[in-house]
A = this chain, B = another copy of it.
Amino acid sequence: MRIVVLVSGGGTNLQAIIDGINNNTIRDTEIVEVVSNNANAYALTRAKENGINGKCISPKDFASREDFNRALVAEMDNLNPDLIVLAGYLVNIPSEMVKKYTNKIINIHPSLIPSFCGKGYYGLKVHEGALKRGVKITGATVHFVDEGTDTGPIILQKAVEVKEGDTPEILQKRVMEEAEWVILPKAIDMIAKGEI
């Protein structure tokens, strides 16, 4: 299975995918390219260090959002991946891309959907929301991307305990370690093996 990974930041989920491929917990899968909207994303360095092609496609480099959208879709069409993985990608996916790649785009979200998801809930804001509501259990979700925000079919979820004294940063780290880095590679492997 040929996958493209889209990522905006540090790329720890990308690293979990690379590790999964290297230690064969993700079977029969190859990352054909890592695409970031951020030229300075450490994810692009990770790609390079692992011999994976990396590319920056940023809205800033285009005259209009439409031009950016067209460039992103053209890049996907050019790569022709079996699966597009949003691994901490903080850019809205063009509607045309969602339509073209139905059931071929997956996203990782750092909560148990439908809690703390949808517009306004991204990155640390998800964990701020969970702590503000005082939940004792949170987690992460891998889901297919549809035209809504975090509304697509759920593939895998994993629960994570909230602990006394957690800050959004501490909770974010625990959710990554205990859930995101587990279920994202697992979901990719299951898709590669045709189990989903």
Chain B hits for A136, CB < 8 A = 154, 156-157
A15 vs chain B, min Cβ distance (A): 24
Q: Does A159 contact B (CB under 8 A)?
A: yes
Q: Which one of B115, B153, B159 lies within 8 Å of A134 (CB-CB)?
A: B153
Number of chain A residues close to chain B: CB under 8 A: 17
Tell me how many chains of this kind the complex includes. Answer: 2
Given contacts A112-B115, A115-B114, A159-B159, contact A154 B134 (CB under 8 A): yes
Q: How far is the CA of A156 from the CA of B134 in the complex (A)?
A: 10
Q: Which one of B113, B116, B135 lies within 8 Å of A135 (CB-CB)?
A: B113
Q: Which one of B116, B135, B154 lies within 8 Å of A157 (CB-CB)?
A: B135
Q: Which one of B133, B139, B153, B156 lies within 8 Å of A114 (CB-CB)?
A: B133
Q: Does A137 contact B (CB under 8 A)?
A: yes
* Chain A residues close to B by CB (< 8 Å): 112-116, 133-137, 139, 153-154, 156-159
8 closest cross-chain pairs (CB), A and B? A159-B159, A136-B157, A137-B157, A115-B115, A134-B154, A137-B159, A114-B115, A112-B137
